[in-house]
Amino acid sequence: MSYLELAGLQKRYGNSVAVDDVSLSVEQGESVALLGPSGCGKTTTLRMLAGLIEPNKGTMTLDGSEITRLPAHKRNMGYVFQSYALFPHLSVGRNIAFGLEERGVSRAEIDKRVQEGLALVRLSGLAQRRPKELSGGQQQRVALARALVIQPSVLLLDESLSNLDAKLRDAMRHEIRSIQRSLGITTLFVTHDQVEALTMCDRIAVMHRGRIAQIGNAEDIYDRPATRFVAEFVGRANVLPLARDAQGRATVWGQAVPVEAADNADLFVRPQRMRIVPVSEPAGGDAARLTGRVLRSVFVGDHVEVLVEGTGGQLTVEMPSGSAAPAEGTEVAVVWPRAESRVFAREAA
């Protein structure tokens, strides 16, 4: 049995099912993201684990003991809320000490752990400040320190970076990941941000309509999506309608492609996996190849996006920054390895 086990969790609100048969195993010291759009059930799942919401069905087990009906304050879980939930009338030090005081820890031990927590999140010397005197990033660190000083069995992060600006959010991603690894603390991280999930966690559970659509490491989720939803939600993808020619071969834009023919299906290919070559260059091996005309090229920092139009639609190719993008109007061929193709059925309207 894994360190943390969720088995068949369900949460209903009247006729609405927020979480439907969610099962998840997490190893000790592992960091797992619950990734999905708003309303997919990820925060409800986290709150059930924290003991803030009671499930209608299912069980939760931590380190061999069932905690499904255990009160929240007896689960020993650190929770970092999206809003941080700092007490404005308390100093930074008192905010961090709050959970320890509630647990009846001795004053000497509280002072020791508060100083250790401040050092861990690089806020030493700010114990006497009030939350309003801190930046957003500093407030986030205080909330994290408060969750960590109780020495939780599991750390729960609920959209904890969503209120930060892009540059600070990027810095905090790496900082939290470094702290999690150094402490070896089991962590569940709820987010709708794909980059956060891909960079901060050992594994990702993609949630859709109250269920886990796929769970795996970053490479599994990005390169080998199990469902159409995962392919569309995580990263960018070219969605190319499939058809059949007179010989029964799969085609895109009237051109044969080396995938299994299927009705009412689309071909998914990541823009980064495609290359632009001269129209006279053959695909080679079992690579796929489409021809079209360059509509435009856009420089976006670390890569160039090239929009190519064919007889039946458009696709985007991402070229490394510094590459010589073909001029607008140029006839080109777009090639990619057959293994990078994914075929998914179209969803009913």
Tell me, what CATH number does 251's domain have? 2.40.50.140
278: pLDDT strictly greater than 60: yes
Instruction: Quote the number of domains for the chain.
Output: 2
**pLDDT score, position 172:** 86
- 224 and 244, same domain (yes or no): no
Distance CA 160, CA 146 (A): 13
Q: Over pLDDT 90: what percentage of the chain?
A: 84
Is the domain of 138 the same as that of 163? yes
Are 168 and 193 in a shared domain?
yes
Last residue of a domain, one of 232, 258, 287: 232
Residues 176 and 249 in one domain: no
> Has residue 101 got a pLDDT over 70?
yes
Task: Tell which residue, 189, 160, 181, has the closest CA to residue 29.
Answer: 181
Please say whether the beta carbons of 97 and 131 come within 8 A.
no
Question: What domain range is 22 assigned to?
Answer: 4-232
Q: Are residues 31 and 160 in the same domain?
A: yes
> Does residue 228 have a pLDDT over 90?
yes
Q: Are residues 226 and 241 in the same domain?
A: no
- Yes or no: say if 271 and 317 are a contact pair by the CB < 8 Å rule: yes
SS3 253: coil
Residues 213 and 282 in one domain: no
CA dist., res. 172 & res. 277, Å (int): 40
pLDDT band at 349 (very low <50, low <70, confident <90, very high): low
Taking the CB of residue 156, how many other CB atoms lie within 10 A of it?
24
From 232, 267, 284, give the residue that closes a domain. 232
Q: Are residues 287 and 219 in the same domain?
A: no
How confident is the prediction for the chain on average, in pLDDT? 93
Please check whether residues 156 and 282 belong to one and the same domain: no
**pLDDT at residue 348 in the model:** 66
Contact 36, 190 (CB under 8 A): no
pLDDT of 131 > 60? The answer is yes
Q: Is the domain of 194 the same as that of 276?
A: no
Instruction: Note whether 200 and 301 are same-domain residues.
Output: no
CATH code, domain with 216:
3.40.50.300
Looking at residue 312, its pLDDT comes to 84
Residues 48 and 197 in one domain: yes
Residue 229 has pLDDT above 60, yes or no: yes
Identify the band that residue 134 occupies on the pLDDT scale cut at 50, 70 and 90: very high
Report yes or no: 342 and 288 within 8 Å, Cβ to Cβ: no
* Tens-place pLDDT, residues 19-63: 999 999 999 999 999 999 999 999 999 999 999 999 999 999 999
Tell which of 209, 232, 255 closes a domain.
Answer: 232
Instruction: Supply the pLDDT for residue 232.
Output: 93
Share of the chain above pLDDT 70, in %: 99
